[in-house]
Amino acid sequence: MEEPRIGVYVCHCGTNIAGTVDVEEVAKYAETLPHVVVARHYPYTCSDPGQELIKKDIKELGVNRVVVASCSPRLHEKTFQGVLREAGLNPYLFQMANIREQCSWLHEPGPELTEKAKRMVGAAVNRVSRHVPLEMRAVPIFPATLVVGGGIAGMQAALEIANSNHMVYIVEREPSIGGHMAQFDKTFPTLDCAACILTPRMTEVSRHPFIRILTYSEVVAISGYVGNFKIKIRRKPRYVDEGKCIGCLVCQEKCPWTALSEFNAGTSKRKAIYTPFPQAVPNIPVIDAEHCAYFLKEKCRACEKFCDANAINFEQSELIFELEVGNIIIATGFDTFDASSIPQYGYGRYPNVFTSMEFERLCSPTGPTEGHIILADGRQPESVAIVHCVGSRDKNYNEYCSRVCCMHALKYSHLIKEKTNAAIYQMYIDMRCFGKGYEEFYNRISNEGVNFIRGKVAKVTDEAIAEEEKGKLIVLVEDTLLGTMLRVPVDMVILCIALEPRKDANEVARLFHLGRSADGFFLERHPKLDPVATMSEGILIAGCCQGPKDIPDSVAQASAAAARALAMIARGKIEVPAITAAIDETECSGCRICNLLCPYDAIFFDDEAKVSRINQVMCQGCGVCAAACPSGAITHNYFTVEEITAEIEGVLA
């Protein structure tokens, strides 16, 4: 190996580093270290002129190893590795000393900061002198994509990709695709009917030659890595043969057993054999074994008797199968806040307190009342209170704003006015109408004779203290603009409930190696510049699983995720870091300890040679095998024993 000629670049990062660390002294110190041929300090090393400086030294001074002392390698390691590559040097002949996040930003100014920075630079110099060139691996991208979740975001992403003639699989755990949007009546601010814009989309997805919909199915395991994921899918038994069923739904009509309809948010019953809603895709029913008489008591079989197509199959069992995909888009959506956890609002106790989801179904022509807005006793309400921020913007529940509630609350005002002419009270904290056409919608509804009361509702009660309150629900709220407590008697209360992470978000996060932000939604790689990627390469997120958003934002994010997947598919391959482990077969004793430890099954035993070998494409570079090998036969590239020992020696020198 050629003699190391190290260049050290100490960054000021404006005053971020230079404000507390004496960068000149650090650079001077670096110059005294073995193999260092040049040490400079520069205001912004990551800037173009900063990068040029490094390139120039590589060319003119024959620098063949580079140390940059600046920010975290998590931020700019790739930037500087790119500089080395452009200057014709192997990108792994580089080491960063993190003197910003882990030094200058941490402590009160003082001489120990400069001392610490020196030690860190010393460690990096000592380490980089041991570095060896490594080759990046190019991994082919399998052109198919998995979309998890068949709501509006999932469908949008699937269509974008499938329209480029690349295969997409949509996995949806419910019996039909459509998601929450299928449950909505009208959409704000245009008031066009949700079904009218959604159902053609659903049909388009189901007829697309490059989309395969797997409903009533869940992902149970994933293995592999970007470009080459293997997905294990569990398909729950429908007990209806999809090949034979013609979707006549006679079975649903004849079935004598019922359960609460999930689609109607529990406001009506459905049968034990059912499709969740009339426009379901696929239009094939499922038998809910928990409520079916045959599964509970081994009798009935009415559906089977009436099915002319002989499609009912009680013997069907779950199916486990594997898919191969290159990219994964997670679009698992949201759950709604449980309104009964705020007992003072009376949800569950008073039949005329509804959640926003229930009210959507009440308004819908396919809902339990065929679109008539009526109270539990069948009367039309004469007054309605719409309570904002139920479970949102409340530190007791969720601190964040759910972003859609102000707008759907305004939409409800219009729908109630249109259908009943009831008096309407909006009880809000702030009106947040930020989207395109939203402020205009707010102005329009304001002019329709709606009462706006600014204040958070304290309580909903049926305890009347005045004649006009009798038989009504009384909403106790402070009008913060007038500074008075109000008692507002109404017939109906609608609680605008928060959008929350899915109940099983934790399991899904573990399955796909996703992070979660403090609010529980899935964590994007960068909150501003990379809102669709995650820390796991090849796994993207879209829609409400990343945070509450309305339909236009969900669709936009889904298209962005699709674009990212398509870019990878178009490139055909991706370069992945060369940080893998390798076995020196002459040292390997064949003990096979490493075979068992590898979390990716990347190590296999060659029976003939009696040694273990590592599949370089499957290896993810965790280095566990190298630490455990009793013969010291395994090298963890970029983290070799020599390199790390050199770093320890340097930092403690």
Partner 1 sequence: MAEFEPKIIAFCCNWCTYAAADIAGTSRIHYPANVRIVRVMCSGMVDPIYILKAFEMGADGVLIAGCHEADCHYLNGPLKCDAMFEKIKRVVNILGLEGERLRREMIAAAEAPVFAELIEEMVKQLKKLGPSPLREGVKV
Choice between 189 and 501, CB closer to partner 1: 501
Cβ pair 170, 218 in contact under 8 A = no
The DSSP line for 131-189 is: ----PPEEEEPPS-EEEE--SHHHHHHHHHHHTTT--EEEE-SSSSS-TGGGG-SEETT
Report the alpha-carbon distance of residue 341 to residue 440 in Å, rounded.
Answer: 34
Report the alpha-carbon distance of residue 418 to residue 412 in Å, rounded.
Answer: 10
Site for partner 1 contains 181 (CB under 8 A): no
Among 4, 7, 73, 548, binds partner 1 (CB under 8 A): 73
Binding range to partner 1, per CB under 8 A, among 43-51, 137-145, 491-499, 626-634:
626-634
Site for partner 1 contains 648 (CB under 8 A): yes
Site for partner 1 contains 15 (CB under 8 A): no
Q: Is the peptide bond before 209 cis (omega within 30 degrees of 0)?
A: no
Site for partner 1 contains 624 (CB under 8 A): yes
| Shortest distance (Å) from residue 112 CB to partner 1 | 5
| Shortest distance (Å) from residue 392 CB to partner 1 | 22
| Shortest distance (Å) from residue 66 CB to partner 1 | 17
- For residue 599 the two structure tokens come to 């979390």
Choice between 263 and 638, CB closer to partner 1: 638
Choice between 49 and 110, CB closer to partner 1: 110
Site for partner 1 contains 513 (CB under 8 A): yes
> In 327-456, where do the E strands start and end?
327-330, 335-336, 353-355, 383-390, 423-428, 451-454
Task: Using alpha carbons, list the distances in angstroms from residue 183 to 266, 306, 363, 368, 495.
Answer: 12, 29, 10, 12, 17
Report the alpha-carbon distance of residue 621 to residue 611 in Å, rounded.
Answer: 20
Binding range to partner 1, per CB under 8 A, among 115-123, 150-158, 237-245, 563-571:
115-123
Segment 576-595, which members bind partner 1 (CB under 8 A)? 579
Among 197, 511, 618, 644, binds partner 1 (CB under 8 A): 644
Cβ pair 440, 326 in contact under 8 A = no
Among 25, 101, 241, 479, binds partner 1 (CB under 8 A): 101
Choice between 25 and 204, CB closer to partner 1: 25
Binding range to partner 1, per CB under 8 A, among 7-15, 226-234, 260-268, 507-515:
507-515
Cβ pair 400, 392 in contact under 8 A = yes
Site for partner 1 contains 628 (CB under 8 A): yes
Site for partner 1 contains 108 (CB under 8 A): yes
Among 585, 621, 625, 578, which Cα is nearest to 606's? 585
Among 100, 130, 186, 472, binds partner 1 (CB under 8 A): 100
Q: How many residues bind partner 1 (CB under 8 A)?
A: 48
| Shortest distance (Å) from residue 38 CB to partner 1 | 25
Which stretch of DSSP H or E encloses residue 649? helix 641-652
Report the alpha-carbon distance of residue 581 to residue 616 in Å, rounded.
Answer: 8
Site for partner 1 contains 510 (CB under 8 A): yes
Q: How do strand 319-325 and strand 228-235 relate by DSSP bridges?
A: antiparallel
| CA count, 13 A, side-chain hemisphere, 498 | 25
Give the footprint of partner 1 on this chain (CB under 8 A): 72-74, 98, 100-103, 105-108, 110, 112-113, 115-116, 119-120, 123, 510, 513, 515, 518, 535, 579, 597, 599-600, 620-624, 626-628, 636, 639, 641, 644-645, 647-649, 651-653
